[in-house]
Chain A
């Protein structure tokens, strides 16, 4: 069974500083997603990473994938308040089943 682990589960960020969220998974996969969820809202797709070494950037967020290490990172540059949300990574297994991590709840403080 594919297991997806995120850390940290909670992250208090100071505005203007840089932080990283880690996503480890247990079995081979060639597709990883990052989602954002605001309280009471649905999941918003941030990135789809499809190959080893893939790197994608959007604004202050950058995601990367190392399929050999079974690791993805979501890097936040110069945090701002509107990045406060819960971030999920999700991984597709060989049966095309998408498994989610527990989420990282981010709070950005002044």
Chain B
């Protein structure tokens, strides 16, 4: 069974630039999550989709972050413009029933 695919694996940008991350969940998984994991901390939920609808985006900084899930499958997370404090690993996860599967993440460094 293929896992959750994310790209790119690493990204280095300067502050005020824009960046986008892509996630392809496990086939058939209706629920998709984006998490932000800052070094030394636990993952923090940014946004949760059920099919192509948003279930929870209460912790998404909407002035600079946006996410979409077209056709209820792939998802993209965008940051525009990036700040230094956005340096983190961005993890995508998908679930069917109670088990979550995480992708390998995108490590973002904002200089």
Contact = CB atoms under 8 A, between A and B. Distances in A.
Interface residues of A, number: 22
B42 A41 contact: no
20 contacts: A31-B98, A42-B91, A42-B102, A42-B103, A43-B91, A43-B102, A45-B99, A50-B98, A88-B42, A88-B43, A97-B48, A98-B33, A98-B45, A98-B100, A99-B45, A100-B44, A101-B42, A102-B41, A102-B42, A103-B40
In order of increasing CB-CB distance, the 5 nearest A-B pairs are: A100-B42, A43-B102, A42-B102, A42-B104, A100-B43
A42 B42 CA distance: 12
Interface residues of B, number: 19
Contacts of B45: 97-99
Chain B binding surface, main DSSP class:
strand
B101 A45 contact: yes
Interface of A: 4, 31, 33, 35, 41-45, 48, 50, 88, 90, 95-103
B23 to A, nearest CB: 12
Contacts of B40: 103
Interface string B80-111: 00000000000100000011111111000000
A48 B102 CA distance: 14
B33 to A, nearest CB: 7
